[in-house]
Chains A and B, each alone.
Chain A
Amino acid sequence: MKKSLLLILSLLVVCSLAFAAGSGEKAQAPAAKISYEVTEPITIDWWHALEQQYWPLVDEIVGGFNKSNDLITVEAKYIGNYATVNENLVAAHAANSGVPAITVANTPYVAEYGKGGLTEDLTPYIKATGYDIDDFGEGMLVASAYEGKQVSLPFLISTQVMYYNKTMADKEGITIPAKFADMEAFLKKATKKDASGTTTRWGTIVPGWDQWYFETFFLNNGVKIVNDDRMTTDLGGKASVAVTKQLQDYMNKGYAYWAAGTSASSTMRQNFLDGKAFSVIHTSSLYNLYTDLADFEVGMAWLPAGDTKKSEIGGSVILIPAKNDQKVKNAAWVFLQYLVGKEVNMRWADGSGYMPTRNSVLTTQEGEDFLKRKPAFKTIFDNLDEINPRIQHAGWNQLATIWKSNLDQIMLENTNVESQLKVMAEEINEVLADSE
């Protein structure tokens, strides 16, 4: 009996100690005047997601900074893709250990990072150093801010486009439709089938592994993915059902396939390069890769529009994690300005498929020169005003996971659209209300 009592008491002590730990909010320190200057030598880490083919460019750009700066040494570290960077960053932030001085982050994470206080508000730095951010495209700045705070700056920016086999298009007289309503006729023409009715060339491939690729079809056809009350979604509504049914119909008719799964992206790319698909929907950042690998001329087109022809910003922003020493943050801010500077930005744009981010490039002779080097980007330059910031909501990632999973099932298993979207919308509503 005594032993049992002792055991229970011990457990209670352990539990109460554990419950006590971390339950209180941290006391706010009184605000002191902060200096943003770098006064002594310092080495900082920059986490990035640029794959091996970009490492010479990364070395060149970081090397250029290190040579030109006496006090700051930057070490560039490839962490993995955006999801891996996110996992490592959030884990380091939660553990308050191993946080990088500066890091890239995929655009949809801005809201969650901003809300959770992971990112440093750059507004005081911008003011203190007189840094001109007005040269960035307005949509890009909004995409890298959270509730009016500039918690990051645009870095490597891309948008959704349709790549197509221009050689085939010219030979067969196929044009990419400007309207979603004309998609079916286009797909019918671009698709090839054998005598048994099996598709031998898909009209297009719709990426299902990331909702970013198909969400513009919904946005441009009147679907409110997050309603104005920020607690509900319209994804179960009539407009959403209509778009989903249309996409499902393309799959059922063998005009397109839904690319889902772990290697869906590389398989889709290979099918396009092998001539097994007339077109694919992908990110504009892969332009260099497609043109380097294809043995035909690659065209780039704006995605077919509905009532509107909006696209959304993709790629990455750059930010300074808040849980850093002020000295580290100051050094990171100096490097950040260099990384997003106009000159360096143009080197990124030339060496990769990312877009120039500066108005002073996009609308001037420099932009014209860029288009001479990359003529396919004309479709993006012609639609710059249509590129919008991503939807910002702290529950966005959860919403995206649920939506993707349900559309996968609808497209691959041909399930009932209305009933599935209705149940899905109820679940998303719960997530949105819980996250807001």
Chain B
Amino acid sequence: MKPLLSRKSSKKVGDFATVLPALLFLGVFVYYPVVQVVRISFTNWNLINDSYKYVGLKNWIWLFEGSGTKYLLNSLKVTFLYTLGELFVTIIGGMILAVIFNKLAKSFSIMRALVFLPKYIAMSSAAVVFLWILNTDNGILNYFIMKMGGTKVNWLGDKNRALLSILMLTGWRTIGYGMMIYLAAMRGISTNYYEAASIDGASKWTQFSRITLPLLSPTTLFLFVTTFISAMKVFQSVDVLTSGGPYRSTEVIVYMIYKYAMEDFRMDRASTVAVFFFIILLIITATTMKISNRSVNYDV
């Protein structure tokens, strides 16, 4: 008797059945909400009301031609500045620490662990501690600054310093993570390259710039993409430390979305900003991946 499906088709059905649970999960918890958010952006849904009306492009006009534009531009600027700061700390700071710890003896591993440890402290808990460290009148940071003859600094209440203060917390948490990833990658580079370079008379800097850096490029790409996406979505530290203030100087995009949804109950506007943000992230990530395919060296 001839089987119902050919061997090839039967394999396809089997493969599909294998991925079906994951597809269903993604469909329900990822794609369906995304579609819903797009839909809500065309309504006037207030979170408290059960009913709503479709309002066409009204929310999009508010975002690009109405009072929402200046807040969107402000939030984009703040988000990109924050992201640049976090990228700098994680990639440059992490690499510098990795180079240092790579040279240190094994007995320094405790220090390495100490640098890495903050990554495992919950952001909300760490932020509450930093809230007190950075307090203008009673914070320990200002106490030391004043002991050294300086004057009090309004870390969280000054619009020129508030974002920097948030980055201090971020840096404290992420620099160790960057270091560990780079350290693992550095230890995977064959020593043969360095030995050959030494024989040819290459200096330490030449070895670093011509061997280490190029061979770390996949790691750098990985850190860049993951840090970029997580930094663009920063929320908790902003919520606890500044609530987006003073006067929106730390209002990152996700905080803007949260504020419209949960404080103003404007789920329609929050969804519009969320959809726009989703598109931006999608474009940037795709572009990064495309560029990296051309410039990243995967030979180790």
Q: Are A112 and B265 in contact (CB under 8 A)?
A: yes
Taking each of B36, B137, B243, which has the highest tally of chain A beta carbons within 10 Å of its own beta carbon?
B137
Q: Which residues of B contact A115 (CB under 8 A)?
A: 48-49
Q: Are A116 and B157 in contact (CB under 8 A)?
A: no
Does B51 sit within 8 A of A, measured CB to CB?
A: yes
Taking each of B156, B245, B259, which has the highest tally of chain A beta carbons within 10 Å of its own beta carbon?
B245
- In the complex, A392→B118 CA distance in Å? 46
- In the complex, A118→B36 CA distance in Å? 22
Q: How far is the CB of B13 from chain A (nearest CB, A)?
A: 17
Q: Which residue of B lies closest to A408 (CB)?
A: B247
- In the complex, A115→B50 CA distance in Å? 11
Q: Are B138 and A401 in contact (CB under 8 A)?
A: no
Does B262 sit within 8 A of A, measured CB to CB?
A: yes
- In the complex, A112→B262 CA distance in Å? 13
Q: Which residues 1-36 of A have a CB within 8 angstroms of B?
A: 14-15, 18-19, 23, 25-26
What does the 1/0 interface line of B216-252 toward A look like (CB < 8 Å)? 0000000000000000000000001111011110000
Q: Which residue of B lies closest to A409 (CB)?
A: B247
Q: Are A90 and B48 in contact (CB under 8 A)?
A: yes
Q: Are A90 and B47 in contact (CB under 8 A)?
A: yes
Q: Which residues of B contact A19 (CB under 8 A)?
A: 39
Of A71-79, A151-159, A259-267, A332-340, which binds chain B? Answer: A259-267
Does B31 sit within 8 A of A, measured CB to CB?
A: yes
What does the 1/0 interface line of A401-416 toward B look like (CB < 8 Å)? 1000110110011000
Q: Are A270 and B49 in contact (CB under 8 A)?
A: no
Does B266 sit within 8 A of A, measured CB to CB?
A: yes
Does A135 sit within 8 A of B, measured CB to CB?
A: no
Q: Are A15 and B35 in contact (CB under 8 A)?
A: yes
Q: Are A270 and B138 in contact (CB under 8 A)?
A: yes
Q: How far is the CB of B109 from chain A (nearest CB, A)?
A: 37
Q: Give the size range of A's interface with the partner.
A: 35 or more
Q: Which residue of A lies closest to B137 (CB)?
A: A267
Does A94 sit within 8 A of B, measured CB to CB?
A: yes
Does A382 sit within 8 A of B, measured CB to CB?
A: no
Q: Which residues 32-56 of B have a CB within 8 angstroms of A?
A: 32, 35-36, 39, 46-51, 54
Q: Which residues of A contact B157 (CB under 8 A)?
A: 260-261, 264, 412
Q: Are B35 and A18 in contact (CB under 8 A)?
A: yes
Residues of A contacting B: mostly:
helix
Q: Which residues of B contact A394 (CB under 8 A)?
A: 46
Q: How far is the CB of B23 from chain A (nearest CB, A)?
A: 12
Residues of B contacting A: mostly:
loop
Does A93 sit within 8 A of B, measured CB to CB?
A: yes
Q: Are B48 and A398 in contact (CB under 8 A)?
A: no
Q: Which residue of A lies closest to B244 (CB)?
A: A405
What does the 1/0 interface line of B145-179 toward A look like (CB < 8 Å)? 00000000000110100000000000000000000
Does B195 sit within 8 A of A, measured CB to CB?
A: no
**CB-CB under 8 A for A18 and B135, given A261-B242, A261-B246:** no
- In the complex, A85→B66 CA distance in Å? 31
Q: Are B48 and A94 in contact (CB under 8 A)?
A: yes
**CB-CB under 8 A for A262 and B36, given A271-B137, A430-B67:** no
Q: Which residue of B lies closest to A89 (CB)?
A: B48
Q: How far is the CB of B151 from chain A (nearest CB, A)?
A: 10
Q: How far is the CB of A270 from chain B (nearest CB, A)?
A: 7
Q: Are B264 and A116 in contact (CB under 8 A)?
A: no
Q: Which residues of B contact A91 (CB under 8 A)?
A: 47, 262
Q: Which residues of B contact A401 (CB under 8 A)?
A: 259, 263-264
Q: Which residues 85-103 of A have a CB within 8 angstroms of B?
A: 87, 90-91, 93-94
Q: Which residues 15-42 of B have a CB within 8 angstroms of A?
A: 31-32, 35-36, 39
Q: Can you name 23 A-B residue pairings with CB atoms under 8 Å?
A: A14-B32, A18-B39, A19-B39, A25-B51, A90-B47, A94-B47, A115-B48, A116-B265, A118-B48, A261-B157, A261-B242, A261-B245, A262-B241, A262-B245, A267-B136, A270-B137, A271-B137, A398-B264, A405-B245, A408-B246, A409-B247, A412-B157, A413-B159
